[in-house]
Amino acid sequence: MPEPSEAQLRHTLPEGKKWYDPGAVDLVNPGVLEEFRANGGEVGGRYAGMPLLVLRSVGAKSGEPRTNPLYRLDVDGRWFLVGSYGGSPTAPAWVHNLRANPKARVEVPAGGAVAEFEVTAQELAGAEREEIWAALVERSPGFAEYQKNTSRLIPVIELVRG
């Protein structure tokens, strides 16, 4: 078995850690951000080939800037984020931040570079959420497993450009 690359090591949590463990994302996010920005939105390791974006939001409690690399799902030209947090009992902090401050900025790959856009976050509900959730789960079946592991309804957030 080949040795893991540096990129793969930077994108891997230590054995036994879950994404929602305190400090877990802080171990991985800096390397992902650095690689994303240095390579025009391309990232290797566990994220190779995945459509990522960098969300720049405002902390709900602190009012401080927050930066998160996130998996982006595109459906009919619309951008969606899923607040699964690995099926944890609580939503990730970035969901709380967007609920409190829906105006944000994103960085997305754009032809070998990274482009920035202003967005407004809108949490989906009801039939619209269920329709988009089905499309998202079809593309990324792991989200269905995360939903099975938690009693909360995993939020689906649309990022509306402009």
pLDDT at 127: 97
pLDDT at 44: 83
**pTM, rounded to two decimals:** 0.85
Q: Residue 54: phi, psi to the nearest 5?
A: -110, 120
Polymer length in residues for the chain = 162
pLDDT at 2: 47
Residue with tokens 């009801």: 126
SS (HEC) of 5-68:
CHHHHHCCCCCCCCCCCCCHHHHHHHHHHHHHHHCCCCCCHHHCCCCEEEEEEECCCCCCEEEE
Q: Do residues 103 and 63 make contact, with C-beta atoms less than 8 angstroms apart?
A: no
pLDDT at 1: 46
Instruction: Residue 146: count other Cβ atoms within 10 Å of its Cβ.
Output: 19
pLDDT at 137: 94
pLDDT at 4: 46
Instruction: Please identify every stretch of the chain with a pLDDT value under 70, giving residue numbers as ranges.
Output: 1-14, 17-25, 27
